[in-house]
Amino acid sequence: MKKLLPATLLLVALTAQADSYSLPKHAAFEEECSSCHMAYPPQMLHADSWRAMMGDLSHHFGSDASIDDQRRVAITNFLLAHAGGRKTGDTRDAQGKPLLRITQTARFEKKHRELPTATWQRASIKSPANCAACHTRAAAGEYSERWVQIPK
Amino acid sequence: MRYLLIIAATLFAATASAETPRDFLTRFEKEAGAAASAQRGARFFTSKQGGEWSCSSCHTDKPTQAGRHAKTEKAITPLAPAANAERFTDAAKVDKWFRRNCNDTLNRVCSAQEKADVMAWLLSLR
């Protein structure tokens, strides 16, 4: 029992850590990416997804999000430098193409699989891209279950 | 004398880089070659122009208030200069957002006349 406790604590600590992201700083990334939505942690997608996304900002999920080339290159380099690692998991579709939507990645789907469609559609949530609707500390990179509060 | 020149040049540079909302109205009217109409701007802003969204889908039809992104729900600070002193003070930002948002709402660029009309309306709001 005495041995179990530290092991359990370690496990809890590791699990908690897996759901929090360090938020590397970059002024242009923060300004440009958070003008229409929250600036998602770069670790949530692998480099190939970011590269594909930043290569076609004029058609960004149905919106024109184009920016000047100098900023586009700077933000791309920042995203590539901090892109996902092992815990990010698979971020490609069945055909092997890099996914652009974080919400379609295997990790996102696994973490949210118990949520019924109706919950997503609540006026208080509206979109799976609206992390902060339920993840009360998303702005600080904290996504652990402890800080989840699903609004009515 | 030389110092005076440097001070004058610095002052000039500072003035040139910071725009006021009125400067944009003047610029767009000049480009359009015609006076702006706030009434036409209001109509343009609040009704759909071929796309799925109008300007007011995100900025509300009373842009002295805060808005919300129609898709992501992200809060948008008021657009009318009377309610938000940061708006229309930076040419690069103004051009960037007109380019993108006209594309999203009209599937084309906005004409200088359309931009002048919107500016006139936004400036008339209190």
Confidence (pLDDT) at A129 = 86
Residues of B in contact with A131 (CB under 8 A): none
pLDDT (tens digit per residue) in B21-40:
999 999 999 999 999 999 99
Do A134 and A93 belong together in one domain?
Answer: no
User: Cβ B100–A129 below 8 Å, yes or no?
Assistant: no
Work out the pLDDT band at B48, boundaries 50, 70, 90.
very high
Three-point CA angle B94, A33, B53, nearest 5°: 60
What percentage of residues in chain B have a pLDDT greater than 90? 79
Domain spans of chain B, in order of start: 19-124
| Shared domain check, A119 and A109 | no
What would the CATH number be for the domain defined by B19-124? 1.10.760.10
Examine residue A109 and state whether it is found in any structural domain, yes or no: yes
Taking the C-alpha atoms of residue B10 and residue B13, their distance in angstroms, rounded to an integer, is: 5
Phi, psi (rounded to 5 degrees) for B27: -60, -45
Within a domain: A86: yes
Instruction: Tell me the C-alpha distance between B48 and B53, whole Å.
Output: 6
Whether A60 and A100 map to the same domain: the answer is: yes
Contacts of A151 in chain B (CB under 8 A): none
pLDDT of residue A16: 46
Residue of B nearest to A128 (CA): B72
Which domain does A128 fall in, by range?
115-152
Residues A51, A99 share a domain: yes
* Residues A85 and A71 occupy one common structural domain: yes
pLDDT of residue B51: 87
Q: Are residues A122 and A60 in the same domain?
A: no
**Residue B104 with chain A: CB contacts under 8 Å:** 63-64
Residues A64, B96: C-beta atoms closer than 8 Å: no
Sort out which chain A residues have CB atoms less than 8 A from B99's CB and list them.
64, 66
* Angstrom distance (rounded) from CA A141 to CA A137: 7
Q: What is the ipTM of this complex?
A: 0.83
Q: How far does the CA of residue B23 sit from the closest CA of chain A (Å)?
A: 23
Tell me the per-residue pLDDT of B93-115, one tens digit each, with 9 for 90 and over.
Answer: 999 999 999 999 999 999 999 99
Residue A148 lies in a domain: yes
Decide if A35 is inside a domain.
yes
Number of domains in chain A: 2
Are A53 and A91 members of one domain? yes
Per-residue pLDDT tens listing for chain A (152 residues): 556 666 555 555 544 456 899 999 999 999 999 999 999 999 999 999 999 999 999 999 999 999 999 999 999 999 999 999 888 999 999 999 999 999 999 999 999 999 999 999 999 998 888 899 999 999 999 999 999 999 99
In this structure, are A61 and A71 located in the same domain? yes
Partner-chain residue, chosen from A34, A67, A126, that has the shortest CB–CB distance to B96: A67
Residue A64 sits in the same domain as residue A123: no
* Record: contact A127-B71, CB cut-off 8 A: yes
Do the chains contact at A64 and B92, CB–CB below 8 Å?
A: no
Do the domain assignments include residue A4? no
From the list B69, B73, B104, the residue facing A64 with the nearest CB is B104
Whether residue A119 sits in one domain with residue A89: no
B117 Cα to chain A: minimum distance (Å): 22
Q: What is the pLDDT of residues B52-82, one digit of tens each?
A: 999 999 999 999 999 999 988 889 999 999 9
pLDDT for the residue numbered A126:
86
Q: Which residues of B sit within 8 Å Cβ distance of A?
A: 69, 71-74, 92, 96, 99-101, 103-104
Query: How many other β-carbons are positioned within 10 Å of the β-carbon of residue B42?
Result: 19
Asked if residue A136 is part of any domain, the answer here is yes
* String of DSSP letters for chain B: -HHHHHHHHHHHHHHHH---HHHHHHHHHHHHTS---HHHHHHHHHS--SSS--THHHH-SSTTS-EE-TTT--EE---STTT-TTTT--HHHHHHHHHHHHHHHHSSPPPHHHHHHHHHHHHH--
Is A51 domain-assigned? yes
